[in-house]
Chains A and B, each alone.
Chain A
């Protein structure tokens, strides 16, 4: 077979979305170039310790779990991937067409003035640098001109900020590896790309124009500044101190929509309501006595768990936009605002946070690719979330409109899926298994950075290890090419078969060092890295004790390596087929994706016709016609030879595991069996059916929003004089504590269509919060302009609908008027929400877990949005929660990308970061099965033992410590190794070096 030409994808922008896209593409075997304008990756997310909706990080979960590196690397430290090149300080300046639909992109790379391959992260340049400039990372402090954006940044090397450097040359004098070259010049480089992903993110709005909100006062901070204040490596090391006097504020207010939905930025910035609430929660957790107030316009928590998140946030919510902020003599802030009852208030706060929004910054990129923009965001093709006018160019995250993190990540993974179906993917063959023999000679290399560790006594250390029969050598800078060569030479010369490197942290150097020994035919486990620099040389305050630590730690790790021994299991074949459950738009789209890349798929639909909820849609708010799209999709699916479409079929139960699921299907009385490597649930959801009498449901003229849309589409608006729309019917209440995400937009589409058909029709929308996030805010404005009335109602005073004299009467309490108003209407249109209709499915005799809203539960709402708890099971679309059509399709593409990581493999390879079971010892009690967080353990009836599915196992070792019979064990740290290490550490430390 001819060697396939490697497909090359360029990802522009190394923030969260860009990294997610790069990793997802890399997992599919594409060559990826990730290009970032700043000195280091991780854009805004690098500045956020925790992100909503789970108030944790979890960035490490971006990689698919079967990929090497996913088991041990923190992705904030190192992306750790072969075939993924990172370019920092680089700006795109030219795009031209190249051979075969490729695009040639030319970049300008600013010099870093530090050669990254020689930088050993000693920080000496920063220490001597006399230049101080405002810190663009921590925001409220200074940084040097020689700097790293933050300590664990990617790349992990320092740079010199050329625009502020005075060329004094102090850093050059102290650099131990001569890696600084102040004469370095900008360089140009070009990449020919088969596809481009634009993930340039957003610029935080410049708040300086928000003078009425007091931006010039020291105790008025932006939400990002507060984020840094709360960060444990921020300017105040996580202590809440207000900028003017360092005192701890007791009364804090947040103003939402600062720089969003105003005269300058007419759109909504999508993420701020939630991240503002998150900051309030973080404050509340850390300082429970603080009094917190949020001034907001609409509470836009539109994601699945966001409404309950906001409800659970313990703050005072004040629905208004403050008019003015003044400063008092003691630096407090006086906020002037008008409450909804029309009363004016002046309230004093110790600290005020402006929750600032996103500004589009893709203008230049759009011009280079000849794309249109709206407000600085790239124009996205209607009916999609990520496609642009150029079929080879995708815009994800905030490049295409203000987005929050979870949506950005879904889009990033979706871009990988779309690119896979566009370009095809390469198959991955299994690497032969490699085992490790016990008891070879162990060597130790010390790399404490030059003369680092003033108290380090090389002779003493060498003599000590010689007495133990262990070869020890000092090599400087093992992470440089020269250091690696010396390391290799040491291995060959002394014929060692195991090596401890007591030097740089594995977080930074593991990939490099292990890569080198693998070239010598070693298993990566034969090299052990000990963070000697970080944990001892730089961390110990008493430098007289570094020798003692050097001896005990290095010897303990040598002992661990001496005991290392394991046999690798054989790779497991997988069934090259997918099962997609549900023939709605999501399922159809996913099936077509799989077929596009040549994967066979069985698509089952419980009704007699595919199409699902999408077949009931008319036009979207943006004017996308759902029906022609769906008809075309159904036709393509029906025609595809790769897709087996089974209607009137349901999934009864699943047995087996990733790579070899057996799926029992039911078609009437008939049972069908299909094998599949992965299963994607796209089982959809239902429209909420109001109870009899709920908001007048059942009265003549009370109609659902969706049916009303069809009436408008068919022109049946002739006799209408007045229409009242009621939002949040079956959403955001006790029974369904989530926003249904589609209804406000649908109401606006209907209202605008009515007004455009006949401006005389009175249209009133009764809403709790109008959910037009992102650029769809303009439709809200448009509806207002067209004369649509909006009345806010609260959950506890809902509108009442009755019938009087043949007309419908809606009475609702209007806070602005402080009175109950009565509206008569020909039609009352109910915004019926979305309810779960997820069918119960048994997987190995246990029901698949749903979330508290009865939708499929994703394993991580931010970073693994389409994956379920057990590997190989995916969900997308309405089955996972309320969604618009375009969002459901995006999610389907994302799920396909993640599923293809498995399906492109011939076999599933075992890894070294795994646990095993000693079958002879196993009592078959099942404790480890419940202990395993990844469902990687199964009870094997044949073996009469628990068994580990090694492709899924992440090697956490929880099973090993839970097992009462010591049958479960962990390859990376066996108990004999741990015991030996403890022995060494305690005996050596005790004796010390005085002996």
Chain B
């Protein structure tokens, strides 16, 4: 594994919580590794399984879905639906020869800028250990 390996993380961040937490981290200058590329979604429950699979097939080393803490969902229970979907998805990823541990679902509330940064750091570290997603095209030289 290359020492310079920088994992690529695609983030699907709920507009109400995780995207705002990332904002807060920024405004508070709580910094985190530059490995995440966020896509703002309205609800973690709207993240289609095909988006996650697509990202992994296109070579993402990790996919992070950020949703509201249980009970906090702006849409009542979208985060629970996300939880169920991710659990199911993880169980089928193995059959596609994809690594389920590359998909993370985390609850990060709008005020948890610090937690956001911690999660990105932790995920980057764990993915670095894991090495590149074998589905990806050849890693950087």
A residues at B contact (CB < 8 Å): 49, 54-58, 60-61, 71-72, 74, 76-77, 121, 123, 151-152, 231-233, 237-238, 505-507, 531, 533-542, 545-546, 549, 552-553, 556, 859, 913, 931, 933-934, 954-958, 960-962, 970, 972-973, 975, 978-979, 981-983, 985-987, 989-990, 992, 994
Bound-state Cα–Cα, A978 to B12, Å? 10
A540 and B31 within 8 A (CB): yes
Q: Given contacts A72-B15, A123-B27, A979-B54, are A531 and B22 in contact (CB under 8 A)?
A: yes
A535 and B59 within 8 A (CB): no
Bound-state Cα–Cα, A994 to B69, Å? 39
B 89-128 binary contact with A (CB < 8 Å = 1; else 0): 0000000000000000000011111110100000000000
**The 3 nearest A-B residue pairs measured at CB:** A957-B46, A534-B26, A541-B31
A-B contacts, 25 of them at CB < 8 A, read: A49-B109, A61-B74, A76-B110, A123-B27, A233-B113, A507-B20, A531-B22, A531-B26, A531-B40, A538-B27, A539-B30, A542-B34, A931-B81, A933-B76, A954-B75, A956-B43, A958-B43, A961-B49, A961-B81, A979-B51, A981-B39, A982-B60, A985-B10, A985-B37, A987-B58
Q: Smallest CB-CB separation from A991: which chain B residue? A: B140
A535 and B38 within 8 A (CB): yes
- Complex partner residue of A992 from B33, B37, B140, CB under 8 angstroms: B140
Q: How far is the CB of B60 from chain A (nearest CB, A)?
A: 6
Residues of A within 8 A of B59 (CB): 986, 990
Bound-state Cα–Cα, A249 to B19, Å? 33
B24 and A986 within 8 A (CB): no
Residues of A within 8 A of B28 (CB): 151, 233
B23 and A534 within 8 A (CB): yes
Residues of A within 8 A of B15 (CB): 72
Q: Given contacts A151-B27, A534-B22, are A539 and B76 in contact (CB under 8 A)?
A: no
Bound-state Cα–Cα, A477 to B85, Å? 41
Q: How far is the CB of B55 from chain A (nearest CB, A)?
A: 5
Bound-state Cα–Cα, A506 to B25, Å? 15
Q: Smallest CB-CB separation from B31: which chain A residue? A: A541
Bound-state Cα–Cα, A930 to B47, Å? 17
A538 and B26 within 8 A (CB): yes
Q: Smallest CB-CB separation from A528: which chain B residue? A: B40
Q: Smallest CB-CB separation from B69: which chain A residue? A: A56
Q: Smallest CB-CB separation from B26: which chain A residue? A: A534
B113 and A983 within 8 A (CB): no
Residues of B within 8 A of A123 (CB): 27, 29
Residues of B within 8 A of A994 (CB): 140
Q: How far is the CB of B79 from chain A (nearest CB, A)?
A: 10
Q: Given contacts A556-B39, A958-B81, are A986 and B23 in contact (CB under 8 A)?
A: no
Residues of B within 8 A of A982 (CB): 10, 39, 51, 54-55, 58, 60
- Count of chain B residues near A, Cβ 8 A: 60
Q: Smallest CB-CB separation from A72: which chain B residue? A: B15
Residues of A within 8 A of B46 (CB): 956-958, 960-961, 970, 973
B45 and A539 within 8 A (CB): no
Residues of A within 8 A of B45 (CB): 956-958, 961
B39 and A961 within 8 A (CB): no
A233 and B114 within 8 A (CB): yes
Bound-state Cα–Cα, A859 to B28, Å? 34
Q: How far is the CB of A520 from chain B (nearest CB, A)?
A: 24
Residues of B within 8 A of A979 (CB): 51, 54
Q: Smallest CB-CB separation from B51: which chain A residue? A: A978
Q: How far is the CB of A918 from chain B (nearest CB, A)?
A: 15
A986 and B8 within 8 A (CB): yes
B71 and A934 within 8 A (CB): no
Q: How far is the CB of A928 from chain B (nearest CB, A)?
A: 12
A545 and B34 within 8 A (CB): yes
Q: How far is the CB of A456 from chain B (nearest CB, A)?
A: 13
B23 and A60 within 8 A (CB): no
Bound-state Cα–Cα, A533 to B28, Å? 12
Q: Which of A233, A537, A960 has the most CB of B within 10 A?
A: A233
A58 and B72 within 8 A (CB): yes
- Complex partner residue of A539 from B32, B73, B85, CB under 8 angstroms: B32
B47 and A539 within 8 A (CB): no
Bound-state Cα–Cα, A975 to B55, Å? 13
Bound-state Cα–Cα, A656 to B72, Å? 30
A534 and B25 within 8 A (CB): yes
A986 and B81 within 8 A (CB): no
Bound-state Cα–Cα, A71 to B16, Å? 10
Q: Given contacts A958-B45, A982-B51, are A549 and B34 in contact (CB under 8 A)?
A: yes
Residues of A within 8 A of B51 (CB): 975, 978-979, 982
Q: Smallest CB-CB separation from B141: which chain A residue? A: A994
Residues of A within 8 A of B58 (CB): 982-983, 986-987
- Complex partner residue of A505 from B23, B71, B72, CB under 8 angstroms: B23
Q: How far is the CB of B134 from chain A (nearest CB, A)?
A: 14
Bound-state Cα–Cα, A61 to B71, Å? 13
B55 and A538 within 8 A (CB): no
Q: How far is the CB of A838 from chain B (nearest CB, A)?
A: 21
A956 and B75 within 8 A (CB): yes
B42 and A121 within 8 A (CB): no
Residues of B within 8 A of A978 (CB): 39, 48, 51
Q: Given contacts A954-B75, A958-B75, A958-B78, are A152 and B24 in contact (CB under 8 A)?
A: yes
- Complex partner residue of B74 from A60, A541, A552, A987, CB under 8 angstroms: A60
Bound-state Cα–Cα, A229 to B59, Å? 41
Q: How far is the CB of A53 from chain B (nearest CB, A)?
A: 11
B54 and A533 within 8 A (CB): no
Residues of B within 8 A of A553 (CB): 37-38
Residues of B within 8 A of A237 (CB): 114
Bound-state Cα–Cα, A980 to B32, Å? 26
Residue B41 at the chain A interface, CB threshold 8 Å = yes
Bound-state Cα–Cα, A320 to B45, Å? 47
Residues of B within 8 A of A972 (CB): 42
B42 and A56 within 8 A (CB): no
B26 and A77 within 8 A (CB): no
Residues of B within 8 A of A552 (CB): 37
Residues of B within 8 A of A955 (CB): 42
Q: Given contacts A123-B27, A233-B113, A986-B58, are A56 and B72 in contact (CB under 8 A)?
A: yes
Q: Which of A49, A541, A979 has the most CB of B within 10 A?
A: A541
Q: Smallest CB-CB separation from A534: which chain B residue? A: B26
Q: Which of B10, B42, B72 has the most CB of A within 10 A?
A: B42
Q: Given contacts A541-B31, A973-B41, A973-B42, are A989 and B8 in contact (CB under 8 A)?
A: yes
Q: Smallest CB-CB separation from A984: which chain B residue? A: B37
Q: Smallest CB-CB separation from B12: which chain A residue? A: A978
Q: How far is the CB of B87 from chain A (nearest CB, A)?
A: 14
A985 and B39 within 8 A (CB): yes
Residue B130 at the chain A interface, CB threshold 8 Å = no
Q: Smallest CB-CB separation from B115: which chain A residue? A: A232
Q: Given contacts A961-B45, A979-B54, are A233 and B111 in contact (CB under 8 A)?
A: yes
Q: How far is the CB of B40 from chain A (nearest CB, A)?
A: 8
Q: How far is the CB of B114 from chain A (nearest CB, A)?
A: 5
A151 and B110 within 8 A (CB): no
- Complex partner residue of A232 from B22, B50, B112, CB under 8 angstroms: B112
Q: Which of B23, B30, B50, B76 has the most CB of A within 10 A?
A: B23
A74 and B39 within 8 A (CB): no
Residues of A within 8 A of B34 (CB): 536, 540-542, 545-546, 549
Q: Smallest CB-CB separation from A545: which chain B residue? A: B34
Bound-state Cα–Cα, A538 to B109, Å? 19
A54 and B32 within 8 A (CB): no
Bound-state Cα–Cα, A437 to B64, Å? 33
Q: How far is the CB of B38 from chain A (nearest CB, A)?
A: 6
Bound-state Cα–Cα, A760 to B30, Å? 70
- Complex partner residue of B41 from A60, A545, A957, A962, CB under 8 angstroms: A957
Bound-state Cα–Cα, A931 to B10, Å? 25
Bound-state Cα–Cα, A824 to B42, Å? 66
Residues of B within 8 A of A535 (CB): 22-23, 26, 38
Bound-state Cα–Cα, A738 to B11, Å? 44
Residues of A within 8 A of B26 (CB): 505, 531, 533-535, 537-539
B24 and A151 within 8 A (CB): yes
Q: Which of B10, B38, B49 has the most CB of A within 10 A?
A: B38
